[in-house]
Amino acid sequence: MKRILLKWVFIFSFYHVAVLPVAAQELGQTLDSLEVRPSLVNSRLSLPTQLTQVHVISPGEYFAPPLVADIPDDRFGDMVRMGRNIFIKTGVYAKRYAGNGLNCSSCHLQEGRKPHGIPLWAAYGRYPMYRHKTRTVVTLEERIQDCFIYSMNGIAPTLDAPEMKALVTYTKWLSKGAPVGVDLPGRGLPNISRTQDLDPKRGKIVYETRCELCHGKDGKGQKHTNGEGYMFPPLWGRDSYNKGSGLQRVRTLAKFIKGNMPLGASFSLTNQESLDVAIYIWLQDRPRNPKMSQAMDFFFPNMAR
Amino acid sequence: MRLSDNIKCSLVSWITKISIWKFFLLLLAVSFVIFLVQSVLPVFSDSHDLHRLAGEELALNGRGKIPSCVSCHGLQGQGDAKIASPRLAGLHPSYIKKQLEDYARDPLKTRAFVEPIARDYVKTPRTYGDLTVFTPGTRYDPKMNGLAKLLSAEDRHNLAIYYSKLAFVASPKAYDFETLERGEDLALRGKPEYGLPSCDSCHGPGGQGFGAIFPPLAGQPVTYIIAQINKWQAGKRDNDHLALMRNIADQLTDGDKVNVAAYYDNLSYSVNSE
């Protein structure tokens, strides 16, 4: 309760009054995301030590999942293909359960394969596990249900739904050869240190120089040219994840940004930059938390979240 | 009674005073006038078409020292694989304009910098040399650099409009199965174990391009795609947004370039054609 109160105080005192209108002018920067500026583009130059910081990956450092071309041509393989379709086009193949414009692969990057991008192959061997959010031991299926409720802002598929079976099958196939019960390197998100010095003003500038190019000026993402689904996923607004999801936690979002964004330049933002832009995104409007607003669901059952 | 109420009353009384037929007649007349103006306006100011025609004239015939574009880029703007000249037909006008501007920009006037610290090339399959000179916002090409400097801003705009309107239909070519399979894997999934994103995640599904910033890969000559990645690795082309493509080109091996270019050459693709 205290946390929620603090949050609203924060929102009203900073967001509406002071932060957004004056953030750019105060720092005296004219913002043009299309302009090429080496000082902002190059992480090396923005580091205080002027040292090169390159995320170097050795061959064999991370687990390599099997190739899509190697999916077997049998009933099991059909289920894997269905799971992969659901995973990369959730709004099409699991339409009845999806509530927004995201796909599974919007967060689990590169079809759930990218290390430090919440890979599926690292998660499969860890479930069932104790989860602090629910304070129970959850199975992989229950975890996927939570994904649909919060991150997909939709309805949880039942445990015997074909979509659920397909997703679990795809996860199992993707983690072929991965050890069980071991924390594999590249699991989940990279760890970053805590800091108290978060500033959405700086975050706005980071957003406008690094993120806006793809996710759009208003953070609503960009749709495909044929109008179906999102090419670049929305970060806030009606079609984004809701307030109960994991990425609504600032530090989790900062970890995700640090490890994966911008595409192809992982670990190029500093910890401070990723935390700043995470709190800027956290301040924006998005669908409400379904578990914290059951009264709304009771009195207005048809109202969109 | 306040002034605002007075005004409201007078408005209401005026509407009730005139008959309902007169009111409808008035609406009809107003809408007819708007319709007339809208239909007549484009005749007087069809600037888009004028730009296109001017661009066509320049592209086909050249002007003064400027040679015609069609000698290298083809009569339909389809490009030429033999000399690694790109397709221009159907590209986004802003993209064409930006490339011409970057060709014309003087590399000495940008803030060029040398990468001073050698990276550990043994660990990752990176291919470009140490001490690469980067010149942000410029694009090097022996032919186009001199040529683009002769063009005025209006010429660039005209050419961009002309080429973006041209139709293009790709003719898919056959490659061996293994090349295509590897190319597809790279194009759709990238190399996640090395942190390399897929091509389609920015260049659009099927490499058809996305918006003004991400150009299409489908329908471009194979030689052109390979030559451009080589230029990025060598620091000769450094005009991408947020250094996105430079980071990615660093990680591509020679085999990757061939495979992925072959994959996109194998796709069917058309633009501006019915």
List chain B residues with CB under 8 Å of A121.
none
Higher per-residue confidence, B7 vs B126: B7
- pLDDT single digits (tens) B228-237: 998 888 778 8
Over residues A200-214, the pLDDT tens digits come to 988 888 898 888 889
- Which of A57, A213, A225 lies closest to B213 in CB terms? A213
Residue range A54-94, pLDDT digits in tens: 566 777 889 999 999 999 999 999 999 999 999 999 999 99
Cβ contacts of B185 within 8 Å, gap of 6 or more: A67, A68, A69
C-alpha distances in angstroms, A40 versus A32, A206, A263, A269, B251? 12, 9, 16, 10, 22
pLDDT at A240: 93
For residues A301 and A149, the model is more confident at A149
Same fold, A22-54+193-296 and A68-174: yes
List the domain boundaries for chain A: 22-54+193-296, 68-174
pLDDT, tens digit, 9 for 90 and up, residues A207-233:
988 888 899 999 999 999 888 889 999
Q: Domain coordinates of chain B in residue numbers? A: 47-271
Which residues of A are less than 8 Å from B180 in CB distance? none
CB contact under 8 A, A111 and B189: yes
Confidence class for position A5, pLDDT limits 50, 70, 90:
low
Of the candidates B184, B190, B195, which has its C-beta nearest A57's C-beta?
A: B195
Rounded to a whole number of angstroms, the distance from the CA of B196 to the nearest CA of chain A is 6
* Residue B163: C-alpha distances to residues A98, B102, B266 (Å): 41, 18, 23
Is it the case that residue B54 has pLDDT exceeding 50? yes
Residue A13, SS3 per DSSP: helix
Select from B193, B244, B253 the residue whose CB has the most chain A CBs within 10 Å, as the one to mutate to test that interface.
Answer: B193
Contacts of A266 in chain B (CB under 8 A): 195
Q: Per-residue pLDDT for A157 more than 50?
A: yes
Residue B87 has pLDDT above 70, yes or no: yes
Q: State whether residue B178 sits within 8 Å of chain A by CB.
A: no
Give the residue from B140, B133, B139 showing the smallest Cα distance to B113: B133
Check B192 against A69: CB less than 8 A apart.
Answer: no
With an 8 Å Cβ cutoff, the interface of chain A facing chain B consists of 33-34, 36-38, 41-42, 45, 51-52, 54-59, 61-65, 67-69, 109-111, 113-115, 117, 119, 210, 213-214, 222, 224-225, 231, 262-266, 268
d(CA A6, CA B242): 36
- CB contact at 8 A, A119 and A190: no
Instruction: Count CB-CB contacts under 10 A for residue A93.
Output: 18
Enter the CATH code of domain B47-271.
1.10.760.10
CATH no., domain A22-54+193-296: 1.10.760.10
* Mean local confidence (pLDDT), A118-140: 93
Instruction: State whether B204 and A109 contact (CB < 8 Å).
Output: no
The pLDDT score that the predictor gives to residue A290 is 87
Tokens of A47: 């580091």
- What is the C-alpha separation between A241 and A252, in angstroms, rounded? 14
Distance from CA of B247 to the nearest CA of A (A): 6
User: Taking CA atoms, what residue in B is nearest to A61?
Assistant: B193
In Å, how far is B53's CA from the nearest CA of chain A?
27
pLDDT of residue A13: 54
Asked if the interface predicted TM-score (ipTM) of this complex is over 0.85, the answer is no
Mutation for B interface: A231, A273, A277, most B CBs within 10 A: A231
Confidence of residue B272 (pLDDT cuts 50, 70, 90): confident
Q: How far does the CA of residue B47 sit from the closest CA of chain A (Å)?
A: 26
With cut-offs at 50, 70 and 90, classify the pLDDT of residue A168.
very high
Residue A59: its chain B contacts at CB < 8 A? 123, 193
Average pLDDT rounded to a whole number, residues A293-299: 78
| Cα–Cα distance measured from residue A122 to residue B4, given in angstroms and rounded to the nearest whole number | 70
pLDDT, one tens digit per residue, over B176-196 is 999 999 999 999 999 998 888
Q: Is the CB of residue A115 less than 8 Å from the CB of residue B193?
A: yes
Which one of 1.10.760.10, 1.10.357.10, 3.40.50.300, 3.30.420.40 gives the CATH number of domain A68-174? 1.10.760.10
pLDDT of residue B188: 94
Give percent of chain A above pLDDT 90: 54
Work out the mean pLDDT of chain A and round it to a whole number. 82
* Neighbouring-strand partners of residue B196: B191
- pLDDT, average across residues A12-33: 44
> Which residues in chain A have Cβ-Cβ distances shorter than 8 Å to B188?
68
Q: What is the pLDDT of residues B107-166, one digit of tens each?
A: 666 655 555 443 433 333 333 334 455 556 788 888 898 899 899 989 999 999 999 999
What is the distance between the alpha carbons of residues A249 and B141, in angstroms, rounded to a whole number?
Answer: 48
- Which helix H or strand E contains B133, and what residues bound it? strand B133-134
